[in-house]
Amino acid sequence: MGQALAAFSSSPPETFSVDELNFLDNIPDHLHLECPICLQVMTNDPYIISCCGNHFCGACINSSKRTNPQCPLCKASNFEVMIDKGLQRTINGLRVKCIYNDSSCDWIGQLQGLSDHMSHDKRQGECLYPVVKCGNGCGHKDIRWKLTDHEENHCIRRTVSCIYCLATGEHRDITTSHLGVCPLYPIPCPNNCRAGKLPRKQMKKHLSEKCPLVDVQCDYKWAGCKWIGFRGDHEVHAERSESEHLLLVSMATKTLTEENEDLKKEMKEMKTVVAKMAREVSRQGKEIEELKKNMIVLQNKPIRLK
């Protein structure tokens, strides 16, 4: 009995009640279709029980045996169970219509092919009428044939391209977080200048080179002009301050000339000092050489002991 039960591995992927099925042929009264426990049609591994001859789903009788050793129907304590392949073939060979026949599905086939025809757990399937999940993974459910419109036009996880930079991604990201980093997304100048909206990647150059409402310093700052104002006003400032700028340039040139002369004098003095130091170094070098020679003579001179 234990080996027979162990042969049952898992419950069928899809089960049906008798009321769900549309049989094309009359079912003989002696043919046991439903499991007495789960009341589902025994399409997958029906088991026959030795004590009373009834049939059960493998999963049901296995679960019942673990919790209560008695037969669920006749209450016998000692019984054997074994798979009834003949009953399984008979049940699975029954001809049925699709359970969505009322929805215009005209499929007809053996009961064993009904589950694959409907494929309830899959996005794609032969039958157009089961309610299944969106293939994009958003969790939305609808009748299979209706999902295509949802997946292509309404799903938040459908793949779309950014209308600005053509980057691809999920609709929920492309239309929200992506727009915050999209290099071509038009953004307004932070200074509200008349340039209007510009692609994000151009804004840095606009602010550093073109925006008329950015504060800039005068081109003659180096000469001492302290003017600071909008870039758009710089040209007017330059025209109005032309004479002032000429004076500043003249004064700056004079100052630079004087500083240049001072530097020349300092360089001349430094050259004199360097030349003097060079002569001193040369003199000291000669003295050192002379001392070295004297030391050699002294080292080689024999010492006389008195």
Query: Is the residue at 66 inside a domain?
Result: yes
Same structural domain, 9 and 38: yes
Same structural domain, 37 and 98: yes
**Residue 170: which residues within 8 A CB-CB, separation 6 or more?**
136, 156, 157, 158, 159, 160
- Helix 231-240, helix 242-300: angle, nearest 10: 100
The residue out of 154, 174, 208 marking a domain boundary is: 154
Same structural domain, 89 and 143: no
Residue 140: pLDDT above 70? yes
User: Pairing relation of β-strands 215-217 and 228-230?
Assistant: antiparallel
> d(Cα 67, Cα 62) in Å, to the nearest integer?
9
Token digits of residue 77: 């304590």
Element (H, E) at 291: helix 242-300
Query: Is the residue at 101 inside a domain?
Result: yes
pLDDT in the model for residue 296: 81
Question: CATH number of the domain that 39 lies in?
Answer: 3.30.40.10
Tallying the residues shown for the chain, one arrives at: 306
Query: Which pTM does this prediction carry?
Result: 0.60
Mean pLDDT of 150-158: 96
Higher pLDDT among residues 2 and 14, named by residue: 14
Same structural domain, 20 and 95: yes
Query: Is the residue at 6 inside a domain?
Result: yes
What is the DSSP secondary structure assignment for residue 25, as one 8-state letter?
A: S
Sheet containing strand 55-57, edge to edge, reads 55-57, 46-49, 81-83
User: pLDDT tens, 264-291?
Assistant: 898 998 989 898 998 888 888 888 888 8
Token digits of residue 31: 């043919």
Reported as half-sphere exposure (CB side, CA atoms, 13 A), residue 212 has a value of 9
Higher pLDDT among residues 296 and 231, named by residue: 231
Domain containing residue 133: 119-154
pLDDT in the model for residue 285: 85
pLDDT in the model for residue 252: 87
Residue 215: pLDDT above 80? yes
- CA distances, 168 to each of 52, 161, 163, 174, 200 (Å): 65, 4, 10, 7, 18
pLDDT in the model for residue 9: 36
The percentage of the chain sitting over the pLDDT mark of 70, rounded to a whole number, equals: 94
From the list 54, 59, 74, 57, the residue with the least C-alpha distance to 17 is: 57
Query: Is the residue at 261 inside a domain?
Result: no
